[in-house]
Amino acid sequence: MTAGHEFFEVEADVGVRAWAPRAEEAFAQAALGVFALIVNPAEVEPRERREVRAQADSEEALLVGWINECLYVHEIEGFVVSRVEVDVLGPGVVHGFLVGEEFDPARHRPGTIVKAATFHGVRVTRTPERVETSIVVDI
């Protein structure tokens, strides 16, 4: 599999590991993995887009900021996600879009309530073949 995400156990929290050939895709997979805890992306229609941007001094802080900005859109607007797109990932900035719709209790089965991404164990690792991220979210 060239891109994807999986969960790992952390005491009282949940970890999300994501990977892809490019950093932009790995950041997108990380956000999609977090949203998959909230509502299964397969249950979400790609009806609308929400713009998300984060800034930070390091790649790890950028990942935490990115996830927290994505979660802010969910919390404030009740927006659930079927797809995540990252179009800019450079020194100190990440920009992209959440694709999905407003939460509909008649169609979406709620999963885990995710409060925030944490700095505990956050990693961004690069190899010639891929970029892997690891982040723990507070539930």
Total tally of structural domains belonging to the chain? 1
Residue 103 Cα distances to 1, 76, 80, 82, 109, angstroms = 29, 11, 6, 11, 9
Query: Tens of pLDDT along the chain (139 residues)?
Result: 688 888 887 777 899 999 999 999 999 999 999 999 999 999 999 999 999 999 999 999 999 999 999 999 999 999 999 999 999 999 999 999 999 999 999 999 999 999 999 999 999 999 999 999 999 999 9
Q: What is the domain extent for residue 127? A: 4-138
- pTM of the predicted model as reported, rounded to 2 decimal places: 0.94
Q: What is the CATH number of the domain that holds 98?
A: 3.55.10.10
pLDDT digits (tens, 9 = 90+) for 5-34: 888 877 778 999 999 999 999 999 999 999
